[in-house]
Amino acid sequence: MNIAATADLTYQGRSLRNDGHPPGTLAATAAGASGAELRERLDRDGYLLLRDALPRDHVLEAGHELYRRLAAAGQLHPDHPPEDGIAAPGLAYLSAHDAGRRNRPLQRVVFGAPMLAVFERIFEAPVRHFDYIWVRAKSPGPDTVTPPHYDVVFMGRGTHDLLTGWTPLCDVPLEMGGLMILEGSHRLTDVRETYGRIDVDTYCAGTPEERPVVSGESRWADRHNGGHFTKDAVSLPGRVGGRWLMSDYRAGDLLVFTMHTMHSAGDNHTGRVRVSSDTRYQRAGEPVDERWIGDEPIAHGPGAKRGLIC
């Protein structure tokens, strides 16, 4: 697959090939590889693309359940079956954060034995997962891109030996705007030691920021650029090096990456809503970020905020 020659690779309407750093292809690792090989590849590349790692029928059913919930909220085309995932006319932005709550088909995928077995092999230890499920529903057009970021800035209060599992819950061709990884970004020492030390739920005490949780107020998030390293994915390879690596995905594939792997996603050029989930896994005995566990995780709510002297 010649990624560089593929049409419709854009971010907010701008070609991802504009700056002389043409995108590359994510390298797949055999889903049945040994733990030692998985750890070696993860250390070298910052990611693992595991084809057919999860039961495809379970994954598709989880995606269909998400589509049914989006349809019930009026976000899919009423003239098509919800399972087709066709976006409602004029849909520019949709929210699916609550769609992971009390969702048994999705939980069977992201918390089930096949998923946990992958991470137990990587860690060579019993694992635990965060209870919070990040559901992503990406509408067509340039308005719902994912700006480049490290995950550690959102979930770094426990162990940093924590891994993300990104699970496409439908087939995701390149033009649908699947996840992309910045090549070598887990080894960018300057970025790790500056941006990578941010906690997005902190604010400066003793300043106007000290009221960070009034309904609708985003002052605390604005202080950290919303947690993003930049909102310009197009120029980032030219600034820090590497290429955007991407791929087609099929339901059943799994993309694993570290807390310091820069990732993003481009525009969805199809008429369908892209559905996927992000979940986190770590060794069971290590410290865990309290924002993301329990029956009702506090997430980025009022209980998560910490005032700093700054």
Q: What is the CATH number of the domain that holds 23?
A: 2.60.120.620
Tokens of 259: 């807390």
Boundaries of domain holding 162: 3-308
How many independent structural domains does the chain possess?
A: 1
Whether 172 shows a pLDDT value over 60: the answer reads: yes
Integer Cα distance of 135 and 100 in angstroms: 6
Please tell me the predicted confidence (pLDDT) of residue 25.
Answer: 96
Please tell me the predicted confidence (pLDDT) of residue 4.
Answer: 57
Please tell me the predicted confidence (pLDDT) of residue 208.
Answer: 56
| Sign of the torsion angle spanned by Cα atoms 285, 286, 290, 295 | negative
Whether 94 shows a pLDDT value over 80: the answer reads: no
Is residue 19 classed as helix, strand or coil in its secondary structure? Answer: coil
Integer Cα distance of 191 and 81 in angstroms: 45
Q: How confident is the model at residue 214 (pLDDT cuts 50, 70, 90)?
A: very low
Q: What is the pLDDT of residues 4-24, one digit of tens each?
A: 566 679 999 999 986 678 899
What's the rounded mean pLDDT across residues 44-49? Answer: 98
Is the pTM higher than 0.85? yes
The amino acid occupying position 158 is G
